[in-house]
Structure 1
Amino acid sequence: MKIGFLDIEWVDVLDVLLLAFLLYQIYYLVKGTIASRIFLGYLLVYLLFLVAKAVGLELLTTILGYFISVGALALIIIFQQEIRRFLLIIGKSTNVANSRLFRRWIGQPEVAEPATPLRPIVDACKAMAAEFTGGLVVVGKNDELEKFIQSGDALDAIISKRLLLSIAGQYSPLRDGAVIITDGRVRAARCILPVSDNDELSTTTGFRHRAALGISEVTDAAAVAISEETGRISLAIDGELFPNLSSSELEERLRVYLFEPARARKREGGKDTPVT
């Protein structure tokens, strides 16, 4: 196709569309944050460099040229959190490493269904909510959580309601931090989790809920947070926080996310109303 003096091929159209999509994703990640203002400032400096070069201001062009030459490295350093979030979104959306074809191709055995019983976890969360006892329980799926397990006190115990309640008890030395459960075992307590830096969260969102959201952003684990003030149960999955769940809703969402295939999760996804 020819427009004026330009010859446009379908590859050019695809190139523009992909670039527009990439720029939109970058804008979506940095909008409303201080990073967006930094990025705008960098663009203004670059425009000033182009104007100075066109006009012939040699001294200003030389000074700005030194700044622009290290611009790529500076952007990587400044936007390291945003780049990390972008790569995590891509990795979690494709999820190639967990596909059967990929595992068969590299000769790895398929991952067996998780053996984590949900009933004692749900019963413990229900009891904590009824007693207004704060708690944070992380249930692993496929991703490795060893780094977070090592930040706490190792337990390696069988999952039970009484164990989880004793950990969350008012006078328990293990009540601070998170309990991490993987492969049907309580692996550790008093674990430190990454805190979400999502600027769209309400200012009333507590530290416990931000930690639950943070672990769900960087791994595929599900995190249950029980509010000490309201007794409400919230669930964080894939960087989304679902508040004020009943015990039956909590069990159903955990079962669908941890055990059922992706098709079932998509059917359930239409009912979700995450908090942002």
Structure 2
Amino acid sequence: MPIWDYFTGLSSVGVLKNIVDVLLVWYVFYKLMTIIKGTKAVQLLKGIFVIIIVRILTDLFGLDTLSWILDQVLPYGFLTIIIIFQPELRRALEQLGRGRLFARTNLQEEEEKERLMDAMSKAVSYMAKRRIGALISIEKETGLSEYIETGIPMNSELTSELLINVFIPNTPLHDGAVIIQKNRIAAAGCYLPLSESPFISKELGTRHRAAIGLSEVTDAITVIVSEETGAVSVTANGDIDRNLNMEEFEARLKKVWFGSAKMQAETSFWKWRMKKNG
């Protein structure tokens, strides 16, 4: 039956049901993708798509031996997917049970933003006054899982007290970076890639080079507190803003952390123009 005849044969209620059905399937798929984003499951999912494409090509080009091998493997694909994505599926079911699979209200989001900003501001202010060195990276769109794996897993709620405690000198985790993922402290003592740019000031130490290095390869935001001077800096999109007072720090962090993508793109463009003309 031609697809057009199928749709013309449906009543208005039937068409509406089909539209709702497609939208629900799309939404569930979208939520699953957001759950696995930034994890190893993304790479595994790409591998599954490659296998499916190879299977289609074997039929097109008549590759009988490869087709037979894939026919033996694919029937177990569903069970394999369940095993591979077990952590992500468990997380999705937990969120569904808590009623968190669907988006939160704007009021809840604003309250969460205020709580996170307050925790970061208190921690940074405390450490800056006492010259406690700190390196805090915040994941955005680009996953930081490969850097999280280099540290000690925490999966803890973001609080100022916990951040301060991690960076107290001579404690096991104070040397590396804390990585914040999905508004939680994912890990501490993490290793970040050092920038190899020759234009970085010689007075900047390893923490600053690591922060700039991460901003060059991801869209992450990193907060640095200098152990020598207590100065506060923020890196994002390959740029570093140094020696910020607390008002400037809060404004800058809020802009790059919670600001719109359009606003951040415009800021980066004007910075580039100023550098080019200056």
TM-score (norm 1): 0.56
Kept after mapping to 2: 8 A contact 1:133/1:227: yes
- How has the CA–CA distance of structure 1 residues 245 and 271 changed in structure 2, closer, same or farther, with 3 Å as cutoff? farther
- Provide the rounded CA distance (Å) in 1 between the counterparts of 2:246 and 2:181: 20
Stretches of 4+ moved more than 3 A in 1?
107-116, 266-274
Q: Following the alignment from structure 2 to structure 1, what is the Cα–Cα distance between the partners of residues 131 and 260? A: 34
Deviation, structure 1 residue 262: 3.0
* 1:108 aligned partner: 30
Residue in structure 2 matched with residue 263 of structure 1 by the alignment? 262
**Amino acid corresponding to residue 206 of structure 1 in structure 2:** G
* Number of the residue aligned with 1:140: 139
CA distance in 2, matches of 1:146, 1:219: 12
Please tell me whether the aligned partners of residues 135 and 168 of structure 1 are also in contact (alpha carbons under 8 angstroms): yes
Which blocks of at least 5 consecutive residues in structure 2 are unaligned?
1-25, 35-102
Partner letter of residue 223 of structure 2?
V
Q: Distance in 2 between matches of 1:108 and 1:151?
A: 29
SS at match of 2:255: helix
Q: Deviations over 1:141-189 (max 9, x none)?
A: 1111111000000001111111001000013111011000011110100
Preserved contact between residue 174 and residue 189 of structure 1 (Cα < 8 Å): yes
User: How much does 1:258 deviate?
Assistant: 2.1
Aligned residue number for residue 233 of structure 2: 234
Contact 1:135 1:227 in 2 (8 A): yes
Match of residue 70 from structure 1: none
Aligned pairs (5 A) from 1:1-276:
108-109=30-31, 117-265=116-264, 270=270
Cα offset, 1:207, TM superposition: 0.7
CA contact (8 A) 1:132 1:230 kept: yes
Q: Is the 8 A contact 1:119 1:251 kept in 2?
A: no
SS at match of 2:136: strand
- d(CA) in 2 for partners of 1:256, 1:159: 19
Contact 1:123 1:247 in 2 (8 A): no
Q: 1:264 Cα shift?
A: 2.8
Question: In 1, distance between residues paired with 2:121 and 2:195?
Answer: 24
Name the residue aligned to 1:46. Answer: none
- TM-score when normalising by structure 2: 0.56
Q: AA paired with 1:210? A: R
Letter aligned with residue 30 of structure 2: Q
Residue aligned with 2:30, SS: coil
* 1:68-104 Cα distance to aligned partner (Å, 9 max, x none): xxxxxxxxxxxxxxxxxxxxxxxxxxxxxxxxxxxx8
Cross-structure match for 1:30: none
After superposition, give the CA deviation of every residue in 1:117-152 in whole Å (9 maximum; x if it has no partner): 222112111111100110100011111111100000
Alpha-carbon displacement from aligned partner over 1:95-116 (angstroms, at most 9, x marks no partner): xxxxxxxxx8xx6359679866
Instruction: Quickly say closer, same or farther: Cα 1:271–1:216, change in 2 above 3 A.
Output: closer
Deviation at 1:265, TM superposition (A): 2.9
Cα displacement (A) at 1:267:
5.8
Amino acid at match of 2:260: P
Change (3 A) 1:205 1:173: same
Q: Percent identity?
A: 34
State the superposition RMSD in angstroms.
2.8
Are the structure 2 counterparts of residues 266 and 219 from structure 1 closer, same or farther at C-alpha, using a change threshold of 3 Å? closer
**CA–CA distance in structure 1, aligned partners of residues 260 and 135 of structure 2:** 26
Q: In structure 2, how many angstroms separate the alpha carbons of the residues matched to 1:195 and 1:221?
A: 14
Q: Distance in 2 between matches of 1:247 and 1:191?
A: 25
Give the aligned residue type for 2:166: I
